[in-house]
Amino acid sequence: MARIGVFVCHCGTNIAGVVDVKRVAEYALTLPGVKYAIDYKYMCSDPGQNAIIEAVKEHKLDRIVVTACSPRMHEGTFRKAAERSGINQYMSEMANVREHDSWVHSDDKEAATLKAMKLMEMSVAKVRRSEALSKMYATVEKRALVIGGGIAGIQAALDIAEAGHKVVIVEKDPSIGGRMAQLDKTFPTLDCSACILTPKMVAASQHPNIELRVYSEVVEVNGYVGNFDIKIKKKASSVDNKKCISCGVCTLKCPSKRAQSEFDEKIAPRKAIYTPFPQAVPNKPVIDREACTFFLTGKCRICEKVCPTQAIDFNQQDEVVTEKFGAVVLATGFDIFDSNVYGEYGYGEYKDVVTSLQFERLINSSGPTEGHVVRLSDKKEPKNLVWIQCVGSRDESKGRPYCSRVCCMYTAKQAMLMKEHYPEVNCYVFYIDIRAAGKNYEEFVQKAQNEYGVIYLRGRVSKIYEKKDKLIVRGADTLSGSQVEIVADMVVLANGLEPRKDAKSLAQLFHVSYDQYGFFTELHPKLGPVETAIAGVFVAGACQACKDIPDTVAQAGAAASKVLGLFSKEKMEVEPLIAKVDPLVCSGCETCYNVCPYSAIEMEDREVSRGNLKHVAKVLDSVCKGCGACVGACYSKAVDLKGFSERQVYDQIETVTQ
C-alpha cells in the first residue's frame, strides 16, 4: 500500500490569498494512501524542502505530491528533494494550483479552493501508481550550429570556438555580416560599423574551429538536445570556390542589368554574378540565376570566358547534407517594417522618401553614392531633411504596438552624420517620445539637438505629398499645439524592426515557439532570456526581440556560454519518460511505427518465448521524446508511457469526473 505525503504551498499570498490551503491539506488526509499532509508558506524554500525530507523519513512515505505552482517552475526542485529524502525522484508529482487556479480564479475563493482540492486529488491518484524510473543518459555531440551570420551569430560562434568546440555558421546570404555590415557609423560613439565588424568577420572565417556555410539554409531538423540531426541545403552558387581566386573579373564583365542590390537596399543595380559587398566573407561570387542572361536565355557565358581559373560551373546543383550537432543558436536577426503600409507617406511613389537602411547606404562612403547623400529622384543634394520616427513601431493601427528600441538612437545618429557631412542642411525629426535608455544614449540624443542643431518636433506626420520637386511634410507639433508643414527635399522613414519573413517557418522546424510577430520566444522573459523551451536550442540577437548591437553581442555571449555549459558534460541526463512496448502483447501491426513523428520505433523479430520468434515493435530509448502518439495508436494496448501510464491518466480522469 502506497504511503503518500501531500505538501500544500501558500506561495506567500499567491495561493493562500485565494485558496484555503488548510482545507486542501485536511482533505488530502481523507484520501486513500495519504499518510501525511501539511501546508507551508514556501515549499520551495530550504526549510520547505527540508520539511518534505523530514516527513518522508519520519512517516516512511514512499511518494509525494506538492500542491504549488507550475511544474515548469519547480518540478526539478521537488524531484531533487524527493531524491535527497531517499525515494526515487519520479515518485513525486506536482499539482499546479497557482497558474491553473489561484491566479485565474481570484474572484471566487470557494470555487478556487474546491478546484485546488480536485487538482491535488488528481495528482494523488496519479502518484499512487507511479513507479521508480531510472535515470537515462545521452551522449553530447560537441559541435554547435549557429543559424544566421550577423553580429549575433558571429559573436556566438567565436565564443564557442574560442572555448575549443567546433561551430558551423549557416548563413542564407552569400556573405556573413548581417545588417551591421550595411550600417555606416554606429551610435552612441559614431565609430564606423565596418571597422569594428570586419575584423570579427575575418576572425570567424579564419578560426580553425569555425566553418562557414554561406548561401545555405536549414531545411530539416531531427533529434534532440545533444544529438540534433540537421539537414542543410547549400544553394548552387554556380562558382567552384576551390578554383575561384576572388579576382572579380566575372562581376566586372557581367552584362546583366536586371537585379537591384539587396545589400544596397535596392537603390543601386548589381550584376547577376556578384559578391554582395567588397569586404564580403567569404569573398566568393555567386550567380543569381533569376538575373543571369545565360540561365534566362541560354546565351552569354561571358563570366565563364573571362574567368582565369575556370571556376564558373553552370551545372552546379543545390546540395543537401545531414549533420549532427549538440546545440543550436538561432541568430536570424531582423527585417525593417514595410514602409508601404503607411500609404500616407508615399513610399514607393515618391522617390525621395527612403527607408532608414537606404539612408545608411546613401551616407556610407562605400555605398553606391560613395557617401554623398543625394536625392534618388534627381541626384541633387538635399537641403532640408525630415526623419519620421515610429514607422511601424508603437502603432496599434498598423499592428505594431511595440517599441523597436533602436530607431530613436539611429535617427539621432543619422541626423548628426548628415550635419557633420553637410553643416548647412536643416534636419528635422518628428517623434512621439524619445527612448534613449542605454549607457550614454540620452546624452547622445541631447548632443544631436544642442550641439548639432537637429530640430526635434514632437508629433506624428499625417501626410506627405509632392509639390513640384519638393515633398511637403505635414504633421502636428504637439508641444506648440499647431500644425506644421515642412518643405523637404528628402524624407527618411525610421522603420521599426520585425523578424525575418521566414522566421516562423524556421521556428517550426525546431518546434521553438514565437510571438504573434514571429520573434522567437525565450524560455522565461526574465530568468531564461537566451534559452528556448526546446532544450539545446538558444536564441541571440534581434530575432528574439528588437535590440541594438551592444545588447545583441551580450546576448550572443550568453547563448554561447549556455552552449558551452551543455558541452562541458560528457553525458547528459535525459528524462526516462518514454514509451515502452510489451512484446508479449504486441501484434506487430506496425501502426506505432508509422505514427511515430521521431522515427523512434523500430520493428524487430524477437524471441518472445523459447523458440518463438515474433515480429514486434521496439522503442529506441535515446530517440523517443515521450509524446505518446504510439500509445494512442496501439490497437492492442501493448505500448505505454513511463511516468504517464494509461492507468495513471485514467485514474486522474476518474478522479476529476467523480
Partner 1 sequence: MVKLGYFPGCSLSSTAKEYDISTRIVCEDLGIELVEIPHWVCCGATSAHITSDIAANALPAKTLIWAEKNNIPITSPCSACFSRLAIAHHTMATDEEMRKDVGEVVGEEYHGGAKVLHLARVFYETYGLEALKAKVKKPLKGLKVASYYGCLMTRPPEVCDFDRIENPMFMDKTVQALGAETVKWGYKTECCGAAFSLTKKEAVLKLTGDILSDAKECGADVIVVACPLCHANLDSRQREIERKSGKKIGLPIIYISQMIGLALGYNALDMAFKKHFVDPVKVLKEKGIL
Residues that bind ligand FAD in the complex, under the rule CB under 6 A:
147-153, 170-173, 178-180, 183, 186-187, 217, 331-334, 336, 356-357, 360, 406, 410, 413, 500, 502, 506, 541-543, 547-550, 552
Which residue's CB is nearer to partner 1, number 242 or number 468?
468
Residue 119: CB partners within 8 Å, gap ≥ 6? 67, 95, 96, 97, 100, 101
173 binds, among ligand FAD, partner 1, none (CB under 5 to 8 A by kind): ligand FAD
**Cβ at position 472, least distance to partner 1 in Å:** 6
Cβ pair 180, 199 in contact under 8 A: no
Which residue's CB is nearer to partner 1, number 343 or number 565?
343
360 binds, among partner 1, ligand FAD, none (CB under 5 to 8 A by kind): ligand FAD
Q: What are phi and psi of 141, to 5 degrees?
A: -80, 115
Half-sphere exposure of 437 (CA within 13 A, CB side): 7
**Cβ at position 468, least distance to partner 1 in Å:** 9
**Cβ at position 208, least distance to partner 1 in Å:** 56
344 binds, among ligand FAD, partner 1, none (CB under 5 to 8 A by kind): partner 1
Beta bridge partners of 5: 36, 64
Rounded CA separation 153/178 (Å): 9
Cβ pair 306, 312 in contact under 8 A: no
**Cβ at position 229, least distance to ligand FAD in Å:** 17
**Cβ at position 294, least distance to ligand FAD in Å:** 26
**Cβ at position 45, least distance to partner 1 in Å:** 51
All three cell numbers of 238: 554556380
SS3 label, residue 291: coil
472 binds, among ligand FAD, partner 1, none (CB under 5 to 8 A by kind): partner 1
Which residue's CB is nearer to partner 1, number 467 or number 610?
467
442 binds, among partner 1, ligand FAD, none (CB under 5 to 8 A by kind): none
217 binds, among ligand FAD, partner 1, none (CB under 5 to 8 A by kind): ligand FAD
Which residue's CB is nearer to ligand FAD, number 331 or number 617?
331
Which residue's CB is nearer to ligand FAD, number 125 or number 180?
180
Residue 635: CB partners within 8 Å, gap ≥ 6? 587, 589, 591
CA diameter of the chain: 97
Which residue's CB is nearer to ligand FAD, number 318 or number 485?
318
How many Cβ atoms are within 10 Å of 263's Cβ, its own excluded? 22
Which residue's CB is nearer to ligand FAD, number 65 or number 493?
493
465 binds, among partner 1, ligand FAD, none (CB under 5 to 8 A by kind): partner 1
How many Cβ atoms are within 10 Å of 164's Cβ, its own excluded? 10
**Cβ at position 550, least distance to partner 1 in Å:** 38
Which residue's CB is nearer to partner 1, number 235 or number 398?
398
**Cβ at position 341, least distance to ligand FAD in Å:** 16
Sites of contact with partner 1 (CB under 8 A): 343-344, 346, 349, 463, 465-467, 472
Which residue's CB is nearer to ligand FAD, number 504 or number 614?
504
148 binds, among partner 1, ligand FAD, none (CB under 5 to 8 A by kind): ligand FAD
Which residue's CB is nearer to partner 1, number 59 or number 463?
463
Q: What is the CA radius of gyration of the chain?
A: 31
Cβ pair 39, 8 in contact under 8 A: yes
Length reported for the chain: 658
349 binds, among ligand FAD, partner 1, none (CB under 5 to 8 A by kind): partner 1
**Cβ at position 403, least distance to ligand FAD in Å:** 14
31 binds, among ligand FAD, partner 1, none (CB under 5 to 8 A by kind): none
Which residue's CB is nearer to partner 1, number 290 or number 349?
349
357 binds, among ligand FAD, partner 1, none (CB under 5 to 8 A by kind): ligand FAD
Amino acid at 610: R
All three cell numbers of 344: 500616407
Q: What are phi and psi of 140, to 5 degrees?
A: -115, 120
Beta bridge partners of 222: 229
466 binds, among partner 1, ligand FAD, none (CB under 5 to 8 A by kind): partner 1
Rounded CA separation 566/326 (Å): 8
Paired sense of beta strands 166-170 and 455-458, if any = unpaired
**Cβ at position 474, least distance to partner 1 in Å:** 9
CA angle 150, 151, 155 (to 5 degrees): 120
**Cβ at position 458, least distance to ligand FAD in Å:** 22
All three cell numbers of 339: 514602409
170 binds, among partner 1, ligand FAD, none (CB under 5 to 8 A by kind): ligand FAD
All three cell numbers of 225: 538536445
Q: What stretch of H or E contains 483?
A: strand 482-488
Which residue's CB is nearer to ligand FAD, number 101 or number 173?
173
All three cell numbers of 391: 514607422
**Cβ at position 347, least distance to partner 1 in Å:** 11
Rounded CA separation 35/40 (Å): 17
Cβ pair 291, 256 in contact under 8 A: yes
346 binds, among ligand FAD, partner 1, none (CB under 5 to 8 A by kind): partner 1
Q: What stretch of H or E contains 76?
A: helix 71-84
Rounded CA separation 581/601 (Å): 10
Cβ pair 626, 608 in contact under 8 A: no
Taken in order 407, 411, 417, 421, the sign of the CA dihedral is positive
Which residue's CB is nearer to partner 1, number 134 or number 482?
482
Cβ pair 326, 225 in contact under 8 A: yes
**Cβ at position 628, least distance to partner 1 in Å:** 40
Which residue's CB is nearer to partner 1, number 347 or number 441?
347
**Cβ at position 420, least distance to ligand FAD in Å:** 14
Q: At what angle do helices 109-128 and 21-28 cross, to 10 degrees?
A: 30
Cβ pair 494, 388 in contact under 8 A: yes
